[in-house]
Each structure stands twice: as structure tokens, then as C-alpha cells.
Amino acid sequence: MSVVARLRAAPRVEQSQDRAVDTVVPVVLAGGAGTRLWPISREHHPKQLASVIGEETLLEATLRRASGIAAFAATRAVATPLVICGEEHRHITARQLAQSGFDATIVVEPARRDTAPALSIAASLARVEHGDAVLVVMPADHTIDDAKAFHRALDLAIGYARLGCIATLGVTPTRADPGFGYLRIGDAVRAEGVEGGVRLDGFVEKPTPEIAAQYIQAGCYLWNSGIYVVRASVWLAAVEQLAPAMYAACDRAVTEGRRDGVSFRPARDAFQASPSDSIDYAVMERLAGWPGGPDAVAVPLDAGWSDLGSWSAVWEALDKDADGNAGRGRVMFEGATGCYAHSEGRLVACVGVTNVAVVETADAVLVVDRAHVQAVKSVVGRIAASHASEATSHRVVRRPWGWYDSIDRGERFQVKRIVVDPGASLSLQMHHHRAEHWTVVSGTAMVTRGDERFLLSENESTYIPIGVTHRLENPGRLPVEIIEVQSGSYLGEDDIVRFDDTYGRV
């Protein structure tokens, strides 16, 4: 007997549990790296934290869509979202939430374990705080043009999830694209007044172009969006049955975890004991082999969805000129067709070229034929293998207190522009191998240097010798901007010994 059939026959649960089922908890998966969108997306600043489409970051756009669930699920309580991210992205994620006015609980993963443990942590935490809630699980790095169509499909998926199904949104394909995974679908699924979904018969990894064309012609395949809707108890039961080691590790990680302001921190040792696996591999592809397990339902989605998995996908998602060109920033096209150009500062001119993507940042430029954009990941791997910083970090580096830009660097010196937010402070620290000169460009800085503590105003400066403890603070209401000149035998960021830190980095 299917889960839907069992639920039809089951007696009513007590009223308090009924209300819990109606609670919807958005879960935003924001822990990916997005290497195919290099050089905008990098290890320390991945694509979900960048403004790839429009002015909002992809994370902000995802949370905005999550905030719209209540309008299409008026009879349900929509809880504060859970945003799952890694320790290295915690501060910038919190910063974006604060700047955008979104309330969310940031669940900080102690290590990367892929999407199945991330969802298991979210389900355990939601069950503790909201009972048997319905989880709406969304990757943070997608774009959707038609929010109303998205919410209608989501509301239908919530209906199936309330009946005990695991529902996923399957995107109606518009072309034979080998860059997506596919869902094989079957007959319509109708139950308890909910209809519009179809049986999910199987998952197919990214096919060859020829196979993708066959899927489109067959008419029984959807693109795999990676968006899932499921009750907390159903997901946890599935993980316990199909991935018991993962279930045990994640359950203990939540039980032994702790609140830290707006964040929740799963217990490190317990979480690291979890196997690493995706939602699809750990559970969804194995449901068919579990007699009596939950039904898997796909809800078709036609809302201008893209996972922005390549620069070609970004080009597809943007408005284009008469020659099929799309661009952001200071870009010009002359005799070019089907091109994408992105500038973060310098003017980019594309002349007489066809189907290329050009992406300019302060420290790297990518030029790629749009037919070969999937190979960008291989290039990033080569950059990482050479230990070059461009694989992981931008020239402008975000910190919990603000940001810095490495303006220039040479033999035994480095020049940085540092901006400290109002009320923020760097850690109390020292360096073994470098001295620093600070000149205030704007604002007022509070400086700790050894046993001294003093204010510096605009056009004033100070010197920090090697081995002397120091700290830079902003006591004012406006950002403080300084120019830092480092000199010494070694200028790496790992030459920082922290003694005290507001942001828990000691």
C-alpha cells in the first residue's frame, strides 16, 4: 500500500499535530561552489552570493521567492527560513541577510557533506522547532522568471507533501540540453483533492546531446530542478531507512548542536561522521527499492527556471539585443552576435566575434566559446593545482567587519584598501613577518597598538612594527577607509596570530 493510500486509511491525528503539518519551513541550500561561473564565482565567494542576474544576489532572490510562499499558501504558517551554508560563508551570508532585511536561521555546516546531510540537518532542526513541518527545499543559486507560476507549482507540491509524498519540481524542457539532469515521469497522481503531479519513475544524469534530443522527442522527461518539498518526518524516515549512518550522524549533530545568535551550529564531530552524498543519490534514486516507502511525485514547472550552471545559461537568462548579445557593466558590441560580456570595472569591447562569453574581474579575464562553457570547471581545477589565489579568492575580499582590496603587490610590499563598517572591528592580532603603515582616508579609526589606544582622523597615519599586537576599530556611524602598506619578508594572510576576535575566529 502506498503512503498516500495509507494516509487515506489512517485515523486522524490529534489536533496539535494537524496544525504542525500545516507549517511550511523554507530550506535554502547555500553551500555550493559554482566553479563553472568562474571568475565571478570562487571558493570563498560562490555564485549564490554574487549578483549574476539583476541587482540582487542569487541568495537574496531565492529568499525573496521564499517570502512569497505565504501568499500562495494562505492557510499555512510559513516559518522563518533555514539557510544552510559553510563556516567560510557564514559572515557574508549574515551580512547579505541583514542588508536585505530578511530574517533567517543560518545553519552553519562544520564541513562539506553535500545536499543530503544538509537537508537531514534541516529536517531534524525543523522537527524540533515546528513539529512535522513541510520543508520547501531550494538551492540558492537558481533564477526563476515567473514567480507566480513558481508559487503555484510549489503550492501543488506542498499539497502532495502533506499527504506523505516526496515531491519535486520538474522543469518543462525547452530544448535538448545535455547540461541538466533529467526526470523520467509516468502517469498522473491524484489523491485527497490534489492533482497536477505525475509519478516520478527515475533519475537520469546529464546525458549526451544525442540522448537529450531523444528525451525531448519522447515527451516523458523533465529537467531536474533540485527543488524538493517533503514533510520532515517523511524525509528523516527515508534517510534512516536508506542511509542509516547519515541519519545517525545528523540526528546527533542536531541534538548536540547549539544556537549562536541568528545561527545554529550542528555538533562538529557528529556532522563530520556523516557520509557525503546528494539528495538524489542518497534517497531519491533508491526509493523504488524500498517497499512501502513514500511515493515520489514530480510537479511540472514552467516558470523560466535556470540553474545558472554555466555562462551560456546566464546568457540564456538575460534580455538580448537585436544581434543576440547580452551584457552587464561597461560592455560594447560591434559586429558581434550571440555573445555575453560581463565587466566588473574595465570597458569590455567584443568586435566581430560570435557565440563567445567574456567575463572581466579585477584579477582575471575569461574568454570562452559558449559551446565549451562546461570546460571552465577544468580550467579552475588547473588554477587550483597551481596554488594560484584566483581559484579561491577575489582581489576584493569580504570579511565580517567589511572588506579589503589588494591594490598592488611587489617584492616585499603589498598595498591594501581597507573599509571597516560602522561599529565593527578587526581582531586583536600580530604578525611575525610584516610591518604595517595605516593612513586614514575617510572616517575616524580607533587604533590599538601594543599598550596604546588612540584615535586617527582623516589624513593621519600610524606605524605597526613587526611583532606588535594591534587592532583597527570603527567607533563611528560611517565607514572608515584606510590605506595599508605592508612590508616584510612574507605577506600571506596566514601570518595572522589572533588573540581576540568579535567574530569567533580565534
Q: Could you tell me the CATH number of the domain that includes residue 125?
A: 3.90.550.10
Is residue 81 situated within a structural domain? yes
Last residue in a domain, options 385, 408, 437: 385
Residues 410 and 377 in one domain: no
pLDDT per residue over 472-496, tens digit each? 999 999 999 999 999 999 999 899 9
Domain count, the chain: 3
327 within a domain of the structure (yes/no): yes
Q: Residues 378, 403: one domain?
A: no
Locate cell 502533506: which residue? Answer: 162
Q: Are strands 326-328 and 296-301 parallel, antiparallel or unpaired?
A: unpaired
315 located within any domain: no
DSSP 8-state secondary structure symbol assigned to residue 87 = G
**Nearest CA-CA partner of 130 in 120, 122, 138:** 122
For residues 408 and 472, membership in a common domain is answered with: yes
54 Cβ contact partners less than 8 Å away, ≥ 6 residues apart: 61
Higher pLDDT pick, 106 / 69: 106
Do 236 and 340 share a domain, yes or no? no
Residue 247 lies in a domain: yes
If asked whether residues 101 and 60 sit together in one domain, one would say yes
**Which of residues 65 and 12 earns the better pLDDT score?**
65
Query: For position 164, what pLDDT does the model report?
Result: 94
359 & 403 share domain: no
pLDDT of residue 19: 38
488: left (phi > 0), else alpha (psi -120 to 50), else beta?
A: left
Give the pLDDT of residue 74: 53
pLDDT of 323 over the 60 cut: yes
328 and 249 inside one domain: no
Q: Above 70 in pLDDT, residue 17?
A: no
Checking if the pLDDT of 282 tops 60, the result is: yes
Domain that holds residue 461: 396-500
467: alpha, beta or left, given left = phi > 0 and alpha = psi -120 to 50? left
CA atoms within 13 A on the CB side of 198: 18
Residue 505 lies in a domain: no
Q: Are 61 and 36 found together in one domain?
A: yes
Q: Do 236 and 273 lie in a common domain?
A: yes
Same domain, 98 and 238: yes
Are 379 and 401 within one domain?
no
CA distance 490 to 112: 31
What is the domain-level CATH number for residue 486?
Answer: 2.60.120.10
Answering whether pTM is above 0.85, one says yes
The answer to whether residue 43 is domain-embedded is: yes
Residues 378 and 402 reside in one and the same domain? no
Considering all CA atoms of the chain, what is the largest pairwise distance in Å, rounded to the nearest integer? Answer: 78
